[in-house]
Amino acid sequence: MLPVPQTLLLSDADVRLAFDWAAGVDALAAAYGASVAAAQFPPRTMARGNGLWLRTLSGVLPGQKVIGAKLIAASMTAQAASYLIPLFDGATMALTALLDGASVTGLRTAATSALAARRLCREVAPRVAVIGSGFEARTHLEALARSGALGAAQVFSPRETSRTAFCQSMAEKGIAVTAAESAEAAVAQADLVLCAARSRDESPTVLGNWLRPGMTVISIGSTLPEQRELDPEAIARADLIVADMVEEVADDTGDMIAANQAGVAFAHKLVSLEAVISGTHPGRTAAEQIVLYKSVGAAIQDLAIAALCVDRARAAGLGTSIPAPVRPVDKSK
């Protein structure tokens, strides 16, 4: 039997120290640009109990060197969740790493959105409207700023104090943002719209009649049937809709369910992010097109970022190594 290495434990703090935006976008580009069989990343599963659920996203990264999963255990009663990512060596089946995945989810979502935006935007330095001022809004704007040039950026969220705090926190990272008086006003000045907030009553926060030809819209806040972020008019006006998980976006997200119920046909303009990044689909084909990227999250994103963080953590001496708690079993006997 091959020797079993120690297992590296990475806390959430270790993950955040090891992560780098530019390297993260590059890792995702490499993963999405490779040839990936559908069986390598099966649909996510959800085990449900009385107020409890366990979501599992699993996969085999391109190259066969890393296999793993992200497990999300949540209690609706306790309003708590835990995120765990185990990674295994594709040659030996050794458990090479265990990561606290809490920050991985936000980091991979923002880095994937930045990758999509850079491939789909017609502008090299797009003007950005950020709708929302929470964690996702902050990470998305930082991911964009670290992956290329940006034009002017504006933010809107309902509370003025939140808008001010967002501008200050971005300024501390060297990213200039001004506050807009309304979502519509922010969108009116933008080439790229980052939708990173949902209203309390799940009514859409960005409307299709605000969009202009040539715009790119990133929508990451409607991932379940009951969640809303864009209205049916936005779906109708999009010339191209790029999705990280095509079937889940089409069938399981509130925005697309509402569009379907309103009689908006979109299947003919829905393509995978993998197709755009790998070059099998051209993406934007005309400057005047309105292009929408919708994300629900995918195992390929989690595993690409987790593997990157493990490699960078080892190089930087981060984390804690322990004797492997799980030893591969020789199945040849």
Distance CA 115, CA 275 (A): 13
C-alpha of 233 from chain center? 24
Report if residue 332 sits inside a domain: no
206 and 318 fall within a common domain = no
CB 190 within 8 A of CB 122: no
Distance CA 313, CA 311 (A): 5
Return per-residue pLDDT of the chain as tens, 333 residues.
556 579 999 999 999 999 999 999 999 999 999 988 989 999 889 999 999 999 999 999 999 999 999 999 999 899 999 999 999 999 999 999 999 999 999 999 999 999 999 999 999 999 999 999 999 999 999 999 999 999 999 999 999 999 999 999 999 999 999 999 999 999 999 999 999 988 778 899 999 999 999 999 999 988 888 899 999 999 999 999 999 999 999 999 999 999 999 999 999 999 999 999 999 999 999 999 999 999 999 999 999 999 999 999 999 999 999 998 888 888 887
Please, is 156 exposed, middle or buried when counting C-beta atoms within 10 Å of its C-beta (0-12, 13-18, 19+)?
A: buried
84 and 158 fall within a common domain = no
152 and 219 fall within a common domain = yes
Q: Residue 224 sits in a domain of what CATH number?
A: 3.40.50.720
50 and 90 fall within a common domain = yes
CB 236 within 8 A of CB 207: no
Q: Residue 61 sits in a domain of what CATH number?
A: 3.30.1780.10
Q: pTM surpassing 0.75? A: yes
- State how far the alpha carbon of 64 is from the alpha carbons of 18, 287, 299, 300, in Å: 23, 38, 14, 12
168 and 112 fall within a common domain = yes
The tally of domains found in the chain comes to: 2
Distance CA 178, CA 170 (A): 10
Report if residue 14 sits inside a domain: yes
81 and 123 fall within a common domain = no
24 and 145 fall within a common domain = no
Q: CA gyration radius for the chain?
A: 20
201 and 268 fall within a common domain = yes
269: phi then psi, degrees, rounded to nearest 5: -115, 15
113 and 215 fall within a common domain = yes
Report if residue 328 sits inside a domain: no
> What is the domain extent for residue 239?
106-294
